[in-house]
Amino acid sequence: MNTTAPDRYTGRFAPSPSGPLHFGSLVAALGSYLQARSLAGRWLVRMEDLDPPREVPGAADDILRTLDAFGLHWDGELVYQSRRHGRYQQILDDWASRGLIYHCHCTRKQIAAAGGLYTGHCRELGLPAKNAAVRLKMTTPVYGFEDGLQGAVSVDERLSEEDFIVRRRDGLYAYNLAVVIDDMDAGVTQVVRGADLLEPTVRQIALYRLLHAPEPGWLHLPLAVHGGHKLSKQNHAPALDTRAPGHALWQALTFLGQQPPTDLFGAGATELLAWAVRNWRLEKVPKGPQIELNCTDSSHFQRPALS
């Protein structure tokens, strides 16, 4: 277990292979990349292939090719969550020996009928493991945190206090568990990602404290939305065009408030990223959880007027 804070800034990008990267993915990847490179830090990539039913065949390799085409080259070994099940189970076994987790047989329908949040019904029942989810006894809830961009963030206390799932009924490990263990083991010092993950952060902080591990900083970038809906693979956001990375990179830099020169529109990825690393200013990134776009495909944005 890594319990010593590293001396060097370490960031990461952790896509899920549920489809190709789109403009919203690029914003998250680019923001985390520039934050790391501007601080002379490491930038890691982890494939969050934790949920096979949601994966698209070939998506993981496509994501890696896209990152390469956009000049977003990572440091160190590429990590796949699907190869770390033993590590997750090691943590759960330790918690089980200390009475920190329990088996839950409540269905989603039952939880919805009770108001949408789990009431702790199974906590003291000692139910068998078969066909059961595993929940963590939340004894030290976290109600808020300070975000590097969004400022002070607080969440519904009922969400903070809920005994949340750490292993699903189908045997798959839960996102909150895996992401904390992975970031902890990698020595990530700051998590830069989209603002759709603001609420789960309090649960992840609670896990860091339970593991007695150094807590990273948090920085949640605004989401790219269209018609009020987040650009996502589930919403069929168009895939990035790897043939013209400079166009989408310029637009992503503009989205992040960095004001790249108009004469760099359509420049090569290497040239654009070199400018971006030199000129990255976090204070220029728009605050707030989302930004509305005029269209869903960055390649269709209006070309800037060249002076």
pLDDT band at residue 228 using 50, 70 and 90 as cut-offs: low
Instruction: Detail the residues annotated as belonging to a binding site.
Output: 12-16, 48, 104, 106, 118, 122, 175, 193, 233
84-121 tens-digit pLDDT:
999 999 999 999 999 999 999 999 998 998 888 898 89
Residue 260 lies in a domain: no
CA dist 110 and 119 (Å) reads 10
Residue 139 lies in a domain: no
Residue 307 lies in a domain: no
Residue 219 lies in a domain: yes
Residue 198 lies in a domain: yes
Residue 5 lies in a domain: no
Instruction: Detail the residues annotated as belonging to a binding site for Zn(2+).
Output: 104, 106, 118, 122
CA dist 270 and 264 (Å) reads 11
Residue 75 lies in a domain: yes
Q: Considering its fold, how many domains does the chain have in total? A: 1
146-204 tens-digit pLDDT:
999 999 999 999 999 999 999 999 999 999 999 999 999 999 999 999 999 999 999 99
CATH number at residue 50: 3.40.50.620
Residue 134 lies in a domain: no
Instruction: Detail the residues annotated as belonging to a binding site for ATP.
Output: 233
Domain that holds residue 185: 10-83+145-151+180-225
Instruction: Detail the residues annotated as belonging to a binding site for L-glutamate.
Output: 12-16, 48, 175, 193
